[in-house]
Structure 1
Amino acid sequence: MAIRIDGKRLAEIVRKEVAQEVEALTARGIVPHLAVLLVGDDPASEVYVRQKAKAAQEVGIRSTVRHLPAEASEDEVLAEVAALADDEDVDGILVQLPLPRHISEARVLEAIPPEKDVDGFTPVNMGRMLTGVGEYFVPCTPQGVLRILRETGVPLRGKRAAVIGRSNIVGKPTALLLLAEDMTVTVLHSRSERPEEVTREADVLVVAVGRPHLVTRSYVKPGAVVVDVGINRLEDGRLVGDVHPEVEEIAGWITPVPGGVGPMTVAMLLANTHLAAVRRRA
């Protein structure tokens, strides 16, 4: 049976590290400030925003939430982002996604200054991450995935990795991080033919597609590290990942859902916010 990687425990370690660093920064008169912009009344988004604000406060990061109605125009949202960008007291800006359909996520994200883009989603940060040139922020979930992999102690250099999912938020940046660890990386997606033939060769398998129990044991190399980024709510209310429970019988390490990658995403947001404050003001 696979060893379960406790994301909650690891996230708590990261939070304590951040809290100590924030305390040292605060002693110098610098209090990191995270501003979150929420547009609309999506219940899930409201829960996520509350969780992030609470987590920030617990480590000593100041957190403010700007809430615009769902009918707010794109220009109004851009004006709010511009105001936060100009506010020298704000270190990090997070725009909660998804936005209402009539608002361009691309335009809004492009309006966030790279030095305040603690989500790591802007084209400038993505480009710097791709090239490795200049300062940038690593997107929170991929950063959490890498921290989880390092926690296992499994050697990464020279090994094979497969990433199922090619989103700009998780799949692509995760692949870049694994490349930077000198892994041989293959990215698979909905158009990939015979994906199992590739994933069965992978020492590390990261799954981020949002399809309940997509990955079964036939996808997995015995002893592999399996990181399940997906989180899906079934009709009976249960939260499940993209990886079928039977994979635990063959994998060497696996992240549970919930309690795996999710807590690490929030923890890495806190780390990025502290880093933004250090770069801007320390």
Structure 2
Amino acid sequence: MAEILKGKDVIASMKERMLKQVEELQSHGVTPCLAIVRLGAKADDLAYEKGAVKRCEGLGIKCVVMEYDESISQKELEDEIRKLNEDTGIHGILVFRPLPKHIDENAIKYVISPDKDVDCFSPVNVAKVFEGDDNGFAPCTPEAVMEMLEHYGVDVSGKRVVVIGRSLVVGKPLSMLLLRKNATVTICHTKTRDLGGTARTADILIAAAGKARMITKEFVSPGQIVIDVGINMDKDGNLCGDVDYDNVEKTVAMITPVPGGVGTVTTSILAKHVLAAAWRLSGVMGS
């Protein structure tokens, strides 16, 4: 039976460290603050917003929710983001995506300040992830994967890691973060020939394809570590990952659950990024 890698233990460990950072910032008169930019009221956005606000406020990080009508114009949205860029009391900006179809995301991503872009929307931060520049902010989900592996003592150096998924949100940046830790990374996707055969060769298998329960027991081998990044709804309306957990768990050595795994850690990474931005922008020297 596999060891279950639960997100709550990672969150508890991160919370202890971040509370100390918040206390130190506050001792210098700095209250870290996150601005959440949301257009409309989509259920997914509201659910993530609720979790993010709860996590941040539980650490002493102020949250400001900027809610706009979905019909807001391109210029109006750009102007609102520029105001947040210039507001010295705001340290992090999170823009919920995808944006409405009439909004040009490719233009918006150049407007947000890279120094406040805490979920890697700006091309500047994307480039820093690929360059290995620690002064940027990686997307929260890939960094949550790395945080979990580190917490549970999984050293990726020299290991064969197969990442199934090539998006710029998870697969590609996660692969770059793994390479920086000296992993040997293979990026696969749904069009990869003999995907199952490649997956079985991995020491660490990371599923980020966005397809419910596509990773079956035929994809895994005994002793593997399986990280499930997927968040899907099955045909019965139940939350599930990209991994067929009930069958795969019987074979592998370690596995993350869905829910309760990587997804729960992402808001803690978001808070971590807000604190890092607050240190830099305030000019306070600290941890």
Name the TM tier (shorter chain): over 0.9
Note if contact 1:161-1:184 (Cα within 8 Å) is conserved in structure 2.
yes
CA change 1:38–1:250 in 2 (3 A) is same
Give the whole-Å Cα distance in 2 for the aligned partners of 1:195 and 1:237: 27
Partner of 2:52: 52
Secondary structure of 1:249's counterpart equals coil
Deviation at 1:235, TM superposition (A): 3.7
Partner of 1:121: 121
Q: Return 5+ residue gaps in structure 2 as ranges.
A: none
Alignment of 1:50-89 (within 5 A): 50-89=50-89
Note if contact 1:37-1:65 (Cα within 8 Å) is conserved in structure 2.
yes
Partner of 1:227: 227
Give the whole-Å Cα distance in 2 for the aligned partners of 1:156 and 1:235: 35
Q: Return 5+ residue gaps in structure 1 as ranges.
A: none
Deviation at 1:179, TM superposition (A): 0.5
Partner of 1:264: 265
Give the whole-Å Cα distance in 2 for the aligned partners of 1:182 and 1:51: 33
Give the whole-Å Cα distance in 2 for the aligned partners of 1:190 and 1:162: 13
TM-score normalized with structure 1 length: 0.96
Match status 1:197 vs 2:194: no
Note if contact 2:225-2:255 (Cα within 8 Å) is conserved in structure 1.
yes
Alignment of 1:1-282 (within 5 A): 1-133=1-133, 135-245=135-245, 246-281=247-282, 282=284
Deviation at 1:134, TM superposition (A): 6.3
The aligned amino acid for 2:15 is R
Give the whole-Å Cα distance in 1 for the aligned partners of 2:184 and 2:133: 21
CA RMSD of aligned residues (A): 1.3
Q: How many residues align?
A: 282
Give the whole-Å Cα distance in 2 for the aligned partners of 1:83 and 1:221: 52
Deviation at 1:178, TM superposition (A): 0.7
Note if contact 2:214-2:243 (Cα within 8 Å) is conserved in structure 1.
yes
Note if contact 2:132-2:180 (Cα within 8 Å) is conserved in structure 1.
no
Deviation at 1:155, TM superposition (A): 2.8
TM-score normalized with structure 2 length: 0.95
Give the whole-Å Cα distance in 1 for the aligned partners of 2:171 and 2:234: 23
Identity of aligned residues (%): 39
The aligned amino acid for 1:17 is R
Runs (4+) off by over 6 Å: none
CA change 1:134–1:156 in 2 (3 A) is closer
